[in-house]
Amino acid sequence: MRPAYASLDAAALRHNLAEARALTGARIMAIVKANGYGHGLVWVAKTLAEADAFGVASLEEGLELRAAGIRQEICLLEGFFDAAEMPVILRERLTPVVHDHYQVEVLKGMRGEQRCDVWIKVDTGMHRLGFEPAEVPAVVADLAALPCIARLGLLSHLACAEEADTTPSRHQIERFAKLAFPGLRRSLANSAGIMRWPATHADWVRPGLMLYGASPLAPDTSMPTRLKPVMTLRSRLISVRHRREGDAIGYGGVYRCPRDMPVGVVGVGYGDGYPREFRTAVSVLVRGQRAPVIGRVSMDMLTVDLRAVAEARVGDEVILWGQGLPVEEVAHAAGTIPYTLLCGLTQRLPRRECLSTTPA
Ligand SMILES: *Cc1c(COP(=O)(O)O)cnc(C)c1O
């Protein structure tokens, strides 16, 4: 078997949910869209049996969770895209977000006994999905009158909760607070809101990234976190060779050895979802020590400078992110965010649950 896989730490995932709970008294909708941020949709939901609800991006994801026996509320964060989805949503007891008038019209046309809960999405400043605050009272009245609606809730999304500038979040909190409807449950916070903005917690919070053990906050704005990485991307050294001063390494020959040195080949590449471009130097861990990535990353392999790990041998385990090497750090070096690295792991990379080895 090719020596490349993502090991998954179930205890860390449950620990991070407990960390979220420790920060808030709100109920928790665990966000598991994009295949559980790359960790495996059903594995994450089953591991997080303590979550109060799950949030997904599509009916397909909701159905996969129901088919796997998940009984909690399942929220479709973008609602339905087409009227044909509604009968299935009702049958499977899914909870759509309603963010636009065309969805209200579909709900008005529903006949029959079955009812569903709905979250009304209001745009408090993200300017992506949601009704204008001024439209909300009429939408609430319209939906409350429909026979297919059980409970209503009011939901909004933070655009800048992780940014240094706090003004946009304060405005969003104010606009959300002005929309008070008795009996409607409320939800505003994502991970950054949970960690940094207690005023956003409301009745339900919606953590995604933090559950997977990564922080959305920049290192400088970051509060100390006790989150544990759930995924560790692992491979092995599949070759170790001594190269001569001046040798060009890999495609394009863009790296030239500054002196005679050991160079290792790691069995993972961009075909697995590891980034190909870096803005600043990045390392992997070999025997717990840092080995800088050198030369271009290939589809199935990458090369590392082993001068700092003189004892490195073929077969040694290599960690590309996760335990001991935060995915945030690799993302930063690649000029991206941890979300894209986790979601971007490709299908060919096996995910394997492992025993927890992070210290308690
Ligand atoms: C993805 C998403 C979240 C989770 O965001 P994180 O930053 O990963 O915590 C919460 N709410 C909505 C509506 C989302 O789409």
Q: Please report, rounded to a whole number, the percentage of residues in the chain having pLDDT higher than 70.
A: 97
Read off the pLDDT of residues 301-328 as tens digits, 9 standing for 90 and up. 999 999 999 899 999 999 999 999 999 9
Region 263-291: mean pLDDT is 98
Q: Measure Cα distances from 198 to 25, 163, 227, 257, 354 in Å.
A: 10, 15, 18, 51, 34
Query: Could you tell me if the CB of 31 is within 6 A of ligand 1?
Result: yes
Q: How far is the CA of 56 from the centre of ligand 1 (A)?
A: 10
Ligand 1 contacts CB of residue 216 (under 6 A): yes
**Ligand 1 atom, smallest distance to 157 CA:** 13
Interval between CA 16 and ligand 1 midpoint (Å): 15
Binding residues for substrate: 128, 299
Give residue limits of the domains in the chain: 10-212, 231-353
Mean pLDDT is lowest, of 42-51, 118-127, 157-166, 215-224, for 215-224
Q: Please name the residue ranges forming H helices in the chain.
A: 10-23, 33-37, 41-47, 59-67, 86-91, 101-108, 136-144, 167-178, 191-196, 327-333, 338-343
DSSP 8-state class, residue 45? H
Residue 275, C-beta contacts closer than 8 angstroms, at least 6 positions apart = 297, 330, 334, 336, 341
Q: Is the CB of 206 under 6 A from ligand 1?
A: yes
pLDDT band at 357 (very low <50, low <70, confident <90, very high): low
Pocket test for ligand 1, best of 56, 160, 190, 343 (most atoms within 8 A of CB): 190
Please, which pLDDT band fits residue 129 given cuts at 50, 70 and 90? very high
**What's the CA-to-centroid distance between 324 and ligand 1, angstroms?**
26
What is the set of active-site residues? 33, 251
Assess whether pLDDT exceeds 60 at residue 285: yes
Compute, in angstroms, the gap from residue 260 CA to the centroid of ligand 1: 48
How far, in Å, CA of 45 to CA of 211, rounded? 11
May I ask the CATH architecture of the domain 231-353?
Beta Barrel (2.40)
CB of 338 closer than 6 A to ligand 1? no
Binding-site residue set = 128, 299
Q: Supply the pLDDT for residue 360.
A: 52
Tell me: pLDDT of 223 over 70.
no
Q: Is the CB of 130 under 6 A from ligand 1?
A: no
Residue in 56, 160, 206 to alter for ligand 1 test, most ligand atoms within 8 A of Cβ: 206
What end-to-end distance do the CA atoms of the chain give, in Å? 32
CA of 265 from ligand 1 middle (Å) equals 37
What pLDDT does 356 receive?
Answer: 72
Question: Which atom of ligand 1 lies at the shortest distance from residue 210's CA?
Answer: 9
Residue 93, pLDDT > 80, answer: yes
Between 358 and 92, the more confident residue is: 92
pLDDT band at 218 (very low <50, low <70, confident <90, very high): confident
Task: Kindly state the percentage of the chain with pLDDT values over 90.
Answer: 94
pLDDT score at 112: 87
Distances (CA, A) of 268 to 50, 98, 177, 319: 34, 42, 48, 10
Ligand 1 contacts CB of residue 121 (under 6 A)? no
- The residue-averaged pLDDT of 133-155 equals 97
Assess whether pLDDT exceeds 70 at residue 222.
no
157 lines ligand 1 (CB under 6 A): yes
Atom of ligand 1 nearest to the CA of 77: 13
Domain 10-212 sits in CATH 3.40.50.150: no
State mean pLDDT over 184-208.
97
Under DSSP, is residue 101 helix (H, G, I), strand (E, B) or coil?
A: helix
